[in-house]
Structure formats: structure tokens, C-alpha cells
Amino acid sequence: MTLWGGRFDSAPDEVLWAYTVDTSDRRLLPDDIRGSQAHVAMLVARELLSPDEGAALQQGLTEIAREASDGRFGWLESDEDVHSAVERRLGEIVGPVAGKLHTGRSRNDQVCLDLRLYLSRSGREQIKGLARFAGMLVDKAEEVGDTIVPSYTHLQQAQAVPLAHHLLAYAEMLRRDAERMSGAVGRIEVSPLGAGASGGSSLPIDPLTSTQALGWSWHFVNSMDAVGSRDFVSEYAFCAAQAMVHLSRLAEELILWATTEFGWVTFEDAHTTGSSALPHKKNPDIAELVRGRTAAAIGDLTTVMVMQKGLPMTYNRDLQEDKRAVFHIDDTLAGSLGALGALMSGARFSPPPPSSWVTALDLAEALVLRGVPFREAHEAVGGLVSTLVAEGRDLASATESELVAADGRFIPTDVALLDVEASVRRRMSPGGGSFENVQRQISWIREALAKTLSE
């Protein structure tokens, strides 16, 4: 049964039906019911429904909510969408008064509200998932203690840093993802109910009353914007896509670190897979799939943005297509947080120490402290590096006299600067890769995450 048969002489063609009906909106069932409950409350408050009619509709909606949560709700092939299904079922339960549910409302404001309700509850879950993941990274940072690794730029060893500093960089990225999602949720929780088909209604409906019934603080100010805009969907998809990109970068590093060449990390057997051909292998499939699925997540963001770019105002059926994309990216992020979280929390780190080349900057900075312009200091250390490389030696093998020969402003005790651990211990710039800064980050990220998780 459609909600719009009146002006049609024939029933919808099978081709039309098969092509236009998308059952993916069924997951909006609880949201559709909740939105309708708020709408009915408003209709009663505005005396567009009698208290008895309102009570009958609310009781019917409550029954449908029960069916939905018990998994008993019966979908029919003839339900055009979730909105039609709820109205159909309401009629079966409460009779003809169900026909009053859609008073002062259109599926255009309804679908937008449903999606906002869904993304609000799902976004709140994602925020918690992101915060928990960041918290797990902070735990790991604590667990690896004073382990030192090279930081990389251009995938070349750059400076010595605590491994914890590297892990905390990801914790900060994920914490920011949670914060970003929470900003998006604030803009999602704006009610479009009362915008109607596009221009509002001649009935004395009141968007503020339904907004309050939803427990939200804000409603639309322009009915055309309310039913025609989906930037809240783009924003949600962006928050999820960006978080997936962060997970994908971490996944890529875990894959790299688990290679024989790097040898930084091993994973629990239960989180890795074997090779059907090569008996010695232990593959980091979870990380590879997170990296692989990020492609489709970026595709989902692209889908919702491109879908909007040529739309004339206001509602167009194209907008039905945002749901599959945003549900897909939503599931992808939730699943990836869970799986990569498990892989990462079981990871055991024991990286080899960085090469002594990572102390080259310390040598140059020692000269800077003696008043040498950085460019000159860079040149002097570069010359020493070049000589040592030509001799097949590393920086730590440089002798006191070789140092002084490289630049007369070096002093013999400067060889102590070539120690990798000392390099980390000397680091003092705020936010840098020092053990003190690791401790500061651990406490402030923990505090920020505790706040996020308690909201």
C-alpha cells in the first residue's frame, strides 16, 4: 500500500517498485517511531488531535516500538519505505485514527528527522568507540615504557623518540576524531519536523513543541533548507571517513612493523591468519582489511557529497541514496574500531634501537648552542656523515678527534651526543618526543577521554 494512491488510476508497476524501494531504511524503524511520538505530542498540544486520539496513536506507536525491539515487526513487500510501514502497522493496531498521524507532516521532513535521530544515537556510540580506542593506545604507550624508536620522515630514520610518543600521536588523532564527531552530532540534533513538504503548513503546528518532545534544543529556521539539505550527512560521513583514514595509517604501520625487516611487533595468534601455502607465515589480515575498507569509506563520503551537488531545492528522491552510504560507513567504522582495537591491544612491541644517525641533529644543535649559525652547523655535520658513509661506518663510530676535525668548534666530549638514548633524554621542546612529554600527554589525553566518555 502506498501513501499516495489518490490521484493514480493504476497500481505501481513492478519495475518502478523494484527500482525505487530501498529496504536499507528499515534500520530507521526506532527513529521513525520516536519521531512520530514527538509529532503526535505536538499535534495534541496544538489541539490538532484530541487527547483521546493522541493517546490512541501513542499507544499504537508504543506497541510498534515493542515489536521493533523484540524483532517481531512484520515488514511487507508492499511497504514503500519505513515511514509507510509504520503508518500501515499503526492502522492495523489503532484503526482509521492512524490516518491522522501524518497531519502537518511530510515524508520529506520525516525522513530527514529519522536520519538525524539515527546519526545522533549512532554518532554518540562512535564517539565512545573512538575514545575507547584512543584510551587503548594510551594504555599501550604506558606498557611500552622507555622503549626508543626512530621517528621517520620520508620513511627514513629521522630522530630518536619514545615509542610511546609515536603511539600517542595516534591517540591524539583518534581523540580529535571523537571531538570532531561530537561537534557534528551537535549540528545533527536540530529538528526539521514541521518543515512539511518544503514550505511549512497552514495548520497551527509548532516545531518548538516537537523539538522539546525529542529532548533537543534546536529546530530549523528555513523549511526549504530543513528538507533539502544533507550537509549533516556529509559531515557525519567525513568524521567517519577521517577516522577510517587514521585507522588505515595505523594499520599500514602495524603491517610494516610486523615485517621481518622492521621486526617491531608481533600479534596474538588469535588475531592473525596463516597462509594456505607458506607454513611459516602469520599475516596481519585485520590491519590489511582496515586499510582496504577505508577505500570504500572514502567512497561513501564521495557518494553523499556528489549526490547533493546538482540538486535543485528542495527534496529530490536522490536523497534516498544517502542512507545506504552513510549506514555503510557507519558500520565500517564501528567494525574497524573493534577489530583493529583487538589486534592492537594484543600487540607486543620489541623494536630494535634506532641507528645512531638519528643523533645527527643533536650534534648540529650542540654547535648552535655555541653560537654557530644552524646552516654552518648543518654543513659541518653533513660533511662528517658523508665521510663516515663513504667508509661504511655509522655515526656512533666517530671518534673525538674526527669530531673536532669536522669542525673546530666541536669539543671531544661531544661524542657523548651520539648516544641514542641520551638524545631522547636531552629533548626539551614542549610537545616534543621526550619522556616527560609522554607523561604529560598520557595524563591530559586520559583526562580528555574520561570527559568524553562521561558525556
Smallest distance, ligand ARG to C-beta of residue 21, A: 8
Smallest distance, ligand ARG to C-beta of residue 228, A: 11
Instruction: Tell me how far apart the 2 most distant CA atoms of the chain are, in Å.
Output: 100
Among 34, 107, 116, 246, binds ligand ARG (CB under 6 A): 107
Q: Per CB under 6 A, does 325 bind ligand ARG?
A: no
Vertex 387: Cα angle to 373 and 403 (nearest 5) = 55
Smallest distance, ligand ARG to C-beta of residue 28, A: 9
Smallest distance, ligand ARG to C-beta of residue 310, A: 17
Smallest distance, ligand ARG to C-beta of residue 319, A: 5
Give dist(CA 358, CA 395) in Å, integer. Answer: 9
Q: Segment near ligand ARG (CB under 6 A), from 104-112, 214-222, 254-262, 280-288?
A: 104-112
The candidate with the shortest Cα–Cα distance to 136, out of 341, 369, 385, is 341
Positive or negative CA dihedral for 375, 378, 379, 380? positive
Residue 191 falls in the annotated catalytic set? no
What does 28-64 look like in DSSP terms, one character per residue? Answer: GHHHHHHHHHHHHHHHHHTTSS-HHHHHHHHHHHHHH
Among 31, 53, 79, 81, binds ligand ARG (CB under 6 A): 81
Among 36, 37, 108, 303, binds ligand ARG (CB under 6 A): 108
Given the residues 10, 154, 202, 280, select the one marked as catalytic. Answer: 154
Nearer to ligand ARG, 123 or 196 (CB): 196
Smallest distance, ligand ARG to C-beta of residue 107, A: 4
Asked if 416 and 422 count as a contact pair (C-beta separation under 8 A), the reply is yes
Q: Segment near ligand ARG (CB under 6 A), from 70-78, 85-93, 128-136, 314-322?
A: 314-322
Question: How far is the CA of 455 from the CAs of 120, 123, 144, 179, in angstroms?
Answer: 14, 13, 30, 12
Nearer to ligand ARG, 107 or 328 (CB): 107
Among 24, 151, 212, 320, binds ligand ARG (CB under 6 A): 320
Nearer to ligand ARG, 64 or 319 (CB): 319
Burial degree of 405 (CB within 10 A; 0-12, 13-18, 19+): middle
Q: Per CB under 6 A, does 235 bind ligand ARG?
A: no
Q: Segment near ligand ARG (CB under 6 A), from 103-111, 209-217, 237-245, 433-441?
A: 103-111
Q: Per CB under 6 A, does 319 bind ligand ARG?
A: yes
Give dist(CA 27, CA 207) in Å, integer. Answer: 25
Nearer to ligand ARG, 321 or 419 (CB): 321
- Cell readout for 61 is 506507536
Q: Cell numbers 633524554 label which residue?
A: 425
Given the residues 50, 275, 350, 443, select the one marked as catalytic. Answer: 275
In the region spanning residues 284 to 313, those forming contacts with ligand ARG, defined by CB under 6 A, are: none
Binding footprint of ligand ARG, residue count (CB under 6 A)? 9
Nearer to ligand ARG, 24 or 283 (CB): 24
Q: Segment near ligand ARG (CB under 6 A), from 88-96, 107-115, 277-285, 378-386?
A: 107-115
Give dist(CA 101, CA 364) in Å, integer. Answer: 76
Vertex 119: Cα angle to 208 and 129 (nearest 5) = 130
Evaluate the omega torsion of the peptide bond into residue 413 and state whether it is cis, within 30 degrees of 0. Answer: no
Nearer to ligand ARG, 85 or 149 (CB): 85
Burial 119-130 (b: 16+ CB within 10 A, else e): bbebbbebbbbb
In 163-251, DSSP assigns E strands to 190-191, 218-219
How many other CB atoms are there within 10 angstroms of residue 445's CB atom? Answer: 21
Give dist(CA 398, CA 357) in Å, integer. Answer: 11
Stated as kind and residue range, the H or E segment containing 249 is helix 231-257
Smallest distance, ligand ARG to C-beta of residue 298, A: 23
User: Looking at beta carbons, which residue is closest to ligand ARG?
Assistant: 320
Among 42, 85, 111, 343, binds ligand ARG (CB under 6 A): 111
Smallest distance, ligand ARG to C-beta of residue 3, A: 9
Asked if 387 and 398 count as a contact pair (C-beta separation under 8 A), the reply is no
Smallest distance, ligand ARG to C-beta of residue 48, A: 21
Q: Cell numbers 574497524 label which residue?
A: 336
Q: Per CB under 6 A, does 25 bind ligand ARG?
A: yes
Residue 275 falls in the annotated catalytic set? yes
Point out which residues bind ligand ARG (CB under 6 A). 25, 81, 107-108, 111, 315, 317, 319-320
By annotation, the residues acting in catalysis are 154, 275
